[in-house]
């Protein structure tokens, strides 16, 4: 449900912005104010909670708070800081207040010239920011500790929204995909889509697994061992090998949902694991902003091989010692 609301909000913002012409502001910054809520604009030292998408002029999505499910906190810096210039990233947010929304086009050629840094290679000329301000934290006479206490309280509330919505996301996913999973006492849910003929692994065995992992809430694939899947979902990384993962099972080398789920599968099986955050990345997420806090995950798994541990050759060890 949250995804639908966010998507609708983003679509409305983009559509409204498309009906206007870009204006040119200080330093050549191009912008459209989609909504001016009439509130005070951000000043140096203030912080803004924003929802934002960042896209390139190659039609590539660089980031989206809507996908993560958490807003981003923007710190309004002083213009005198090194590397800042009129019309830069910092300038964009100084044009906004609480409830405002806007679209900005940041010129990368200008940025490179002003900062004396290499031009990024992920776009040709522009990066577009579609921004909606949720809340404005005003520095005023507040100490830094008091200001950040306000932000922390606010963000705790956003995290709580994710926590309380997790069960609903899982139920919606199951209903939408017409699934009838089995459920363990831990909360893991699974469907064996193709049952293998081999034996099940036990703790300490090494397994070889092909997998694709996605966020339950959005369906976005965040990792896979299969090259074709990575290419299809725009997650391909030429610097990594695409091959079955190999690891010891049941000894905490992977998330608990994998440890538990793979022990249920005979060798050769294919299955779908629906993993609540408690058995995944928990209340902190993955720390990279890819898997947010309290994010349920779904993995399509193929258990390719089960390798038994090799017993220690104590005779050889004794002979070596002698």
Please report which confidence band the pLDDT of residue 129 belongs to, taking 50, 70 and 90 as the band edges: very high
Distance in angstroms (rounded) separating the CA atoms of residues 51 and 94:
16
Which among 46, 291, 299, 304 is annotated as catalytic? 299
The pLDDT of residue 261 is: 97
Question: Choosing from 76, 255, 275, 301, which is the catalytic residue?
Answer: 255
Q: Single out the catalytic residue among 205, 223, 259, 300.
A: 223
Ramachandran bin of 218, using left for φ above 0, alpha for ψ from -120 to 50, beta for the remaining angles: alpha
Is 304 in the active site?
Answer: no
Buried b (16+ CB within 10 A) or exposed e, 226-262: beebbeebeeeeeeeebeeeeebbbeeebbbbbbbbb
CA distances from 51 to 96, 101, 140, 246, 320 (A): 13, 9, 23, 38, 64
Instruction: Judge whether residue 7 has pLDDT over 70.
Output: no
pLDDT score of 20: 62
Q: What is the pLDDT of residue 83?
A: 86
Residue 315 pLDDT more than 70?
A: no
**Residue-wise burial string across 81-113, b where 16 or more C-beta atoms lie within 10 A, e elsewhere:** eeeebebbbbbbbbbbbbebbbbbbbbbebbee
How much is the average pLDDT of 16-23? 67
Q: Would residue 281 show up in a list of annotated catalytic residues for this protein?
A: yes
Q: Which residue carries 């090259």 as its tokens? A: 227
Query: Which tokens is 178 given?
Result: 């017409």
Whether 85 is catalytic: no
9: confidence class by pLDDT, cuts 50, 70, 90: very low
Active-site option among 190, 281, 294, 301 = 281
Compute the distance between CA of residue 46 and CA of residue 30 in angstroms, rounded to an integer.
23
Residue 188 Cα distances to 105, 244, 260, 273, 281, angstroms = 44, 23, 8, 7, 14
**pLDDT for residue 143 is more than 70:** yes
* CA 219 to chain CA centroid, nearest Å: 11
With CA atoms as reference, report the closest residue to 275 among 166, 132, 113: 166
Residue 6 appears among annotated catalytic residues: no
pLDDT in tens, 147-189: 999 999 999 999 999 999 999 999 999 999 999 999 999 999 9
**pLDDT confidence of residue 4:** 36
Answer yes or no: 222 catalytic: yes
Question: Residue 209's pLDDT is what?
Answer: 98
In angstroms, the CA 159 to CA 45 distance is: 24
Centre a 10 Å sphere on the Cβ of residue 300 and count the other Cβ atoms it contains. 19
pLDDT of res. 61: 87
Of the ranges 25-29, 84-88, 285-289, 317-321, the best mean pLDDT one: 84-88
- Mean residue pLDDT across the chain: 90
Pairing between strand 101-107 and 30-35?
antiparallel
Reported as a pLDDT band with limits 50, 70 and 90, residue 312 is low
pLDDT at 59: 86
Encode pLDDT of 186-224 as tens digits: 999 999 999 999 999 999 999 999 999 999 999 999 999
The one catalytic residue in 211, 274, 291, 301 is: 211
- What is the pLDDT, as a whole number, of residue 19? 53
Is 87's pLDDT higher than 80? yes
Could you report the per-residue pLDDT of 226-235, keeping only the tens digit for each?
A: 999 999 998 8
**pLDDT confidence of 3, banded at 50, 70, 90?**
very low
């Amino acid at each position: 449900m949250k995804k639908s609301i966010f998507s609708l909000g983003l679509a409305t913002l983009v559509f409204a912005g498309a009906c206007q012409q870009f204006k040119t502001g200080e330093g050549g910054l191009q912008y459209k104010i989609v909504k001016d809520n009439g509130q005070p604009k951000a000043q140096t030292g203030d912080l803004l909670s924003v929802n934002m998408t960042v896209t390139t002029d190659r039609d590539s999505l660089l980031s989206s708070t809507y996908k993560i499910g958490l807003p981003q906190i923007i710190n309004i810096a002083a213009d005198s800081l090194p590397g800042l210039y009129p019309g830069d990233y910092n300038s964009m947010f100084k044009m906004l207040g609480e409830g405002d929304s806007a679209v900005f086009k940041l010129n990368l050629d200008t940025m490179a010239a002003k900062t004396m840094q290499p031009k990024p290679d992920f776009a040709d000329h522009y990066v577009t920011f579609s921004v909606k301000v949720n809340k404005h934290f005003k520095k005023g006479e507040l100490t830094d500790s008091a200001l950040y206490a306000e932000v922390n309280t606010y963000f705790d509330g956003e995290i709580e929204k994710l926590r309380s919505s997790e069960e609903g996301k899982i139920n919606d996913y199951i209903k939408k995909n017409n699934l009838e999973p089995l459920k363990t006492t831990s909360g893991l849910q699974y469907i064996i889509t193709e049952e293998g003929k081999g034996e099940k692994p036990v703790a300490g065995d090494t397994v070889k697994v092909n997998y694709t992992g996605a966020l339950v809430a959005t369906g976005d694939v965040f990792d896979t061992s299969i090259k074709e899947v990575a290419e299809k979902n725009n997650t391909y990384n030429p610097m990594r090998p695409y091959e079955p993962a190999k690891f010891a099972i049941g000894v905490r080398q992977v998330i608990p949902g994998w440890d538990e789920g793979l022990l249920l599968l005979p060798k050769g099986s294919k299955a779908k694991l629906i993993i609540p955050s408690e058995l995944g990345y928990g209340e902190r997420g993955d720390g990279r902003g890819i898997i947010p806090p309290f994010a349920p995950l779904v993995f399509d798994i193929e258990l390719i091989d089960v390798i038994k541990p090799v017993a220690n050759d104590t005779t050889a060890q004794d002979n070596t010692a002698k």
